[in-house]
Chains A and B, each alone.
Chain A
Amino acid sequence: MKKQGYAQDNFFGWLMSSPALLLLAIFVIIPLVMGLGWSFTNKRLISPLPTEYIGLKNYDSILAIKIIPIEPILDDNGNPQIDENGSIQYLRVRDVIRANPKYLDFRLYTEFNAFGNHFGIIAKDPDFYRALINTTLYVLMIVPAIGIISLLLALLVNQRLWGVSIFRVIYFIPSITSISVTSVVWMFLYNPDQGLINQLLQKLTYDVFGFSPWLQSADTALLAIILYTIWQASGLFMVIFLGGLQDIPEDTYEAAKIDGANPFQTLLYVVIPQLRNTIVYVVITSSILGFRLFTQVDVMTKGGPEGSTLTLMMHTVNEGFRNQKIGYASAISIVFFIFILILTFTQRKIFKSENVLE
């Protein structure tokens, strides 16, 4: 009897899975495989030339980076030339690259002084490294910021106080609005001359805070985007923490109280260890979302000023969609995907090994 009941499972299993499997195959797996294949070709969207297999050349173009010493400019006596400020004049990196066939296709990323010498960092795709560093910086700042702020929000609204649910609603509202729309609103607020944020900061700090250019300076643009993202996404993570907090049994707090723990100790030794699953989830999700940063940047700065907010996603879209270098963009996507993969696995591993220690 029982066996008969399960005999049809084979048929129904495939039947009920088929719509989802078909959609996943067409819209996820085929594109994934195609992208992997194209990453070894010079495919372009519209090109008179046929697509050719070029091996790992795309990956080389993305990743190739070198540090080269830059010689000082010598005067007639063979001594380094010195400018009016007393600093040594170096050759232009661009000229060094052009003079040496080994550095063909390389472009300047940045220059720096170290150990009394001058160096240039050159890469075949300096924008990739710019994007990689911006994105990494962004993730390194946004993950702890959002983690801590949303946990604090959750702790605040988890109290049994009158009216607390109103605050819960308020903190969550930015999360349900669309990023491109609220990004434009924040551009209005960030306006350097007349924007409300500058005016407000000035009034509140009695002019200690001068006008900040926010989105229009390479020094502050990424920070402005981070501040916006904290505003936009904290509520969502607050709700996730709230779910975790509500799973902690009431008597755990009671026990901590009886043991004489103050609220801070309770948080550190009782609440946070109990929230470990939630914390791992929040860290993974917020860092993946961080690496995918695109919409707010595309709306607010388009990657500028001076490439200071260029992100990996933005670079991929620029190359593949706007410059139509599909093969190249696919290779960047694969590199990007490998980052996400490593990230997810490391975080899961850290999580698992902590479990073992218990």
Chain B
Amino acid sequence: MRKHVSNLSMSHNQKARFQKKALLFLDYLVMIVLAFFFLFPFWVMAVGSLKPEKQIFDDLKSVIWAFIPREVSLENYAYIFNRIPFLTYFKNTLVIVLTTIISGLFVNSMIAYALARLRWKGKKYIIGAILALTIVPLETIVVPLLMVSNKLPWFNGATSWLDSLRVQIIPFICDAFSIYLFYQSFIQIPKDYDEAAIMDGANPFVIFSRIIIPLARSTFVAVAIIQLIFLWSAYLWPLMVTRTEAFRPLTLGVTYLYNMDIRWGPILAYATLSNLPSVLLFIVFQKGFLRSIASGSVKG
């Protein structure tokens, strides 16, 4: 009798184990299918970029061959380096994105610190105004912003910012949403941290740079990444303010190439090259990347 019971429970255990395994298998299957969905455009893009124009479309018909590189040719890459100013586009994007993010981190965190931790008259209204500005989409002010940018002076005596790199950088340094994220983070740091420093006679700049910045490092990373994602994709504004190739970013170059003549080989090579840096950057820093966006974006 006892033996019977133990037998029963064993088969029950086996069944449960089998179920668990089947579920695990299903789990991985779903994840792999999804991985295919998210990756196949990149794969097909990279493989296609290495093929001559005619072979790209011949291979698409067989589906399988679209995923497999054959005789590797760099002809398409040579084309984009020789025929269009790819390196200029690339340099422009890099300069725009990096300058905007770095100066943005500085400017936005500083005001957030003043709002979150200093006691001064008028800050209540400024907090309210910034909160309201977080919902102003760039698109709603893009036309007047263009007119403003066209009237601004610059150090070399120019009276318009159009067709330059600065017009793609300076208007986006200050960002209400970034200020809001910094504010949320700074306000959670306990008061005693700076009170001790105030006793020692430290001024707010010292407290900010020595105490607050090190404590809120993850917020800085999160803000930088969120800005990176949006700036890397910037399209409408560069489209409106650039006139010559010298100041265009990567995002516009691809449509320039597409409108020049529709040859898919060079277009795929262009797409591969311009996706490469951000994808590599992400894969190298993925741990910090994902953690800081997850913790930085929604709090409160």
Q: Does A42 contact B (CB under 8 A)?
A: no
A-B contact count (CB 8 A): 295
Q: Which of A1, A30, A337 contacts B140 (CB 8 A)?
A: A337
Answer whether residue B98 sits at the interface, using C-beta atoms and an 8 A cutoff. no
Which residues of chain A are within 8 angstroms of B110 by Cβ–Cβ distance?
16-17, 19-20
8 A Cβ contacts from B121-170 to A: 121-123, 126, 130, 133, 135-137, 139-148, 152, 170
Q: Does B5 make an interface contact (CB < 8 A)?
A: no
Q: Measured between C-beta atoms, what is the minimum distance from A134 to chain B in Å?
A: 15
Contact of A170 among B35, B136, B270, B287 (CB under 8 A): B35
A182 at the interface (CB under 8 A from B): yes
Asked whether, in the complex, the Cβ of B290 is within 8 Å of the Cβ of A34, the reply is: no
A6 to B197, CA, bound (A): 12
Min CB gap A86→B, angstroms: 46
Residues of B within 8 A of A244 (CB): 298
Residue B267, interface by CB 8 Å:
yes
Q: Tell me, in angstroms, the Cα distance from A185 to B42 when the chains sit together.
A: 8
- B274 contacts the other chain (CB 8 A): yes
**A292 interface residue per 8 A CB criterion:** yes
Contact across chains for B233 and A199 when beta carbons are under 8 A apart: no
A12 adjacent to chain B (CB < 8 Å): yes
Interface digits, B20-53 against A, CB 8 Å rule (1 contact, 0 not)? 0000100110110011011111101100100000
In the complex, the answer to whether A174 meets B142 with C-beta atoms within 8 Å is: no
User: Range of interface residues on chain A?
Assistant: 35 or more
Cross-chain contact A180 with B34 (CB below 8 angstroms): no
Report which of A13, A173, A329, A334 forms a contact with B114, defined as CB distance below 8 A. A13
Beta-carbon contact of B114 and A240 below 8 Å: no
Partner of A278, one of B28, B44, B208, B298: B298
Interface size on B, residues (CB 8 A): 101
- A-binding segment of B8-16, B70-78, B80-88, B172-180: B172-180
Tell me the nearest residue of chain A to B67, going by C-beta. A196
Would A184 and B267 be within 8 Å (CB), given that A170-B39, A244-B298, A294-B236 are in contact?
A: yes
Contact of A194 among B27, B57, B122, B176 (CB under 8 A): B57
Interfacial residues of chain B within 201-240, with CB under 8 A of chain A in the complex: 201, 203-205, 208, 228-229, 232-233, 235-236, 239-240
Contact of B27 among A6, A161, A278 (CB under 8 A): A161
Give B residues with C-beta under 8 Å from A. 24, 27-28, 30-31, 34-35, 37-42, 44-45, 48, 57, 60-61, 63, 66, 107-108, 110-111, 113-115, 118-123, 126, 130, 133, 135-137, 139-148, 152, 170-174, 176, 179, 198-199, 201, 203-205, 208, 228-229, 232-233, 235-236, 239-240, 250-252, 254-255, 258, 264, 267-268, 270-271, 274-275, 278-279, 281-283, 286-287, 289-290, 293-295, 297-298, 300
